[in-house]
Structures are given as C-alpha cells and as structure tokens.
Structure 1
Amino acid sequence: MQVFNAEQAKHFLCIAQEDPLEALYVLALTTGMRQGELLGLKWEDLSTDMKKLQVKRTIARIGRLGFVIDEPKTVKSIGTLVRSVQW
C-alpha cells in the first residue's frame, strides 16, 4: 500500500476542491478512517456542533450478498473522533 505524504495530501485536497466527494476525501485523509467506516457514516453520526463524529457501522461488499452493514472491525474502531473542525 502506498500512502500520500503531507505535501501530496495537500495537493490532492487542492485539486479536489468543489468535487462532490471533497468532504469524503478530507475525512479519509484527516481521520485515518477505513473505507467501509467512511461509507457507513450517516448525518446522525455527526454532533450538532460538528466537532464529534461517531463510527457506529461499516459497509462492506461480501460476494453474492452484495453490500452489508456491520459493526466496525475492532473495538478500537468503535468510538468518537473529536476534532476541531474549521470550515
């Protein structure tokens, strides 16, 4: 797996501005959430002051079953991300 360094991440987010998935990219790069955790988010997982985000579910594609909603992989994954968010 190859990951962005800080400069590459900044450049990517610059290019992604105004993209419909920009918020998803920002969350992925700033929180370290897994793909399934990101895709499992609902508006109700975000606090009203927009400073806390709870990881409550994941979405995975499982063979012939299609997309399945499940609990996060590990106990460490279940929790609250607290960030100072500036928009």
Structure 2
Amino acid sequence: MEAVITVVGNDKVGILAQVCTACAEANVNVEEVTQRILRGTFAMIMLVDVSSCSMDFTAFAEKMKQKGDELGVDVRCTRQEIYDAMHRI
C-alpha cells in the first residue's frame, strides 16, 4: 500500500533527513520525493510504500505528525487511494 506524506513549514536544515529517518525507523520505503523552498517556506511531497510498515497506518501517521511537531512543520500522511479520491475532479 502506498501513502502520500506532505510537509510544509518554515525552512531549516534537516527536515528531509529527519522525515526520511522516521520513515526508515518504521520500515517505510520512500519511493519518490519532490521538494521546493518557496520564499522561505519548505514544501515537500513524498510517495512512500507502507506495505511493510512495522506499525498500523494510524500509528505511523501519528508518528509522522509528532515528528512534524518536533520540527515545527506540518506533516500529514494520507493513504494513496484517499489522496487520489480527494483530488479527483
């Protein structure tokens, strides 16, 4: 199963590294990443494979939210099928 992780907040060193480390700790594979700095705001979208995650999806999503709180950025984790349905016109 795939999921989409979005990260938005004030740019600072280490955001990508710490979010990726949190994924690795949960045995979640990062498949694709795109990121930009928009006038000092860090914006990133990640596509991850959660099929081998060491915890259930809800716990992983909460772990990612907590990581965002530690970093001072907004981190959201959404199942790919829900993300697709929300953004379908």
One fold, TM greater than 0.5? no
TM-score range, shorter chain: under 0.3
TM-score, normalized by length of structure 1?
0.25
Instruction: Report which of the two has the higher share of strand.
Output: 2
More relative contact order, 1 or 2 (CA 8 Å, 6+ apart): 2
